[in-house]
Structure 1
Amino acid sequence: MDMLRIVAVPMHKEGRKFVAAFALGTLVLTLVWAPLFWVGLGLTVWCYYFFRDPVRVVPQAPSLVLSPADGIVSLIEEVAPPEDMGLGTSPRTRVSIFMNVFNCHINRAPISGTVREVIYHHGKFLNASLDKASIHNERNSVTIEAEDGTRIGVVQIAGLVARRIVCFVKPGDACAAGERFGLIRFGSRLDVLLPEGVAPRVSVGQTAVAGETILADLSHPSGLLSGRPS
């Protein structure tokens, strides 16, 4: 049974219509020229794989800030948070996680708490790995407030290929650390804005796993602070 779960990872319901479309396309390609069946089959399997929704083992310590996405830590830097997120004006450490088209794209809450802000911004579709993508790209900003009043921001950012940000939560909703709160279709990036004075415990280039990798520990605010990649 454990091996079956590893091989046959569940798919999120958001992906069903896309897999169905790819499967229909495979049928059409096969009718046009039989060998194209294998091309369509490969694309259909990839689409299923893109929308996979694996079970994650979530650390339970309430002071931990978890990665909201699978991918590579691409940027770590001090920035002033967007005014509309309700995070104040003092600089915070921003940890950016870049997801390619092969990463799992289910986004998970970095902490437990109450959703205070959900703000969608129209924008461009620049390469999500670029620093300016945080300002210019289409994005969705979510602010979560922990029970002790600590606020953390997480921003879903569309990229060159991504064309649809999906968010499952709204202001007033309660969420648990590691709980699914959204997804972005076909390549993108997630930014996490840590509380003022809290340094991350990850470094640029590190692989992050949504709901499992610890980005920071609020009970031990000093951590490994890395700069931008050279």
Structure 2
Amino acid sequence: MSNQNLTEQLEAATQQFMANSPIEAQIKIGQMIEELQKSGIASGKQPGEKAVDFKLTNALGRDVILFEELAKGPVVLVFYRGGWCPFCNMQLRAYQQILPEIQATGAQLIAISPQKPDHSLSLQEKEGLEFQVLSDPNGLVTAKYNLLFDVPPGVREVMEGIGLDLAEYNNTSKWVMPVPATFMIDESAIIRSSYVNPNFMQRQSPEEILRELKKL
């Protein structure tokens, strides 16, 4: 899948969202994106900063420790909203397509979301993902990467209106969500590049990831 494909897919999904969602829902979601962009509340860690170590469980319930993985080579660390988000699923599918090329550089891909492990497992199986998909309970690691935010009441109403109880989905009492982000982390645990975008309908292209990886 080429970058254009992912970009085109995301654009088509955005058009579909605009065509099918009530205008009120679009306004609330637009306000959330704008507020995040303006406030910088969840602007992510910056290049040159040290990555924060973590221990999280993967879809099979096994522990994954970031610094142990970095001992093997660079890590492309992806924070996504959850398997309920079609934009995230497109992104992860596109990244699966370039996984052999990521691995050929000696790197690996790790994806993190606040969803509970059984949702990660069904996502992994459904999308045929061959990289680690980790669960971050309550978004604690996401918060350390400065990506976590509280879902505004208006957007919560929109999500509940389509039958999505995010707190239940993530097995937590809080309605929290990550700003989608992709970090390239080198073996010395330094973040070498970051892509953080409050507009969840846009994601870093596979091509860009491979370009950044080659600089490590």
* TM-score, length of structure 1 as denominator length: 0.33
Q: Which has the larger share of strand?
A: 1
Structure number with larger C-alpha Rg: 1
* TM-score, length of structure 2 as denominator length: 0.34
Q: Which has the larger share of helix?
A: 2
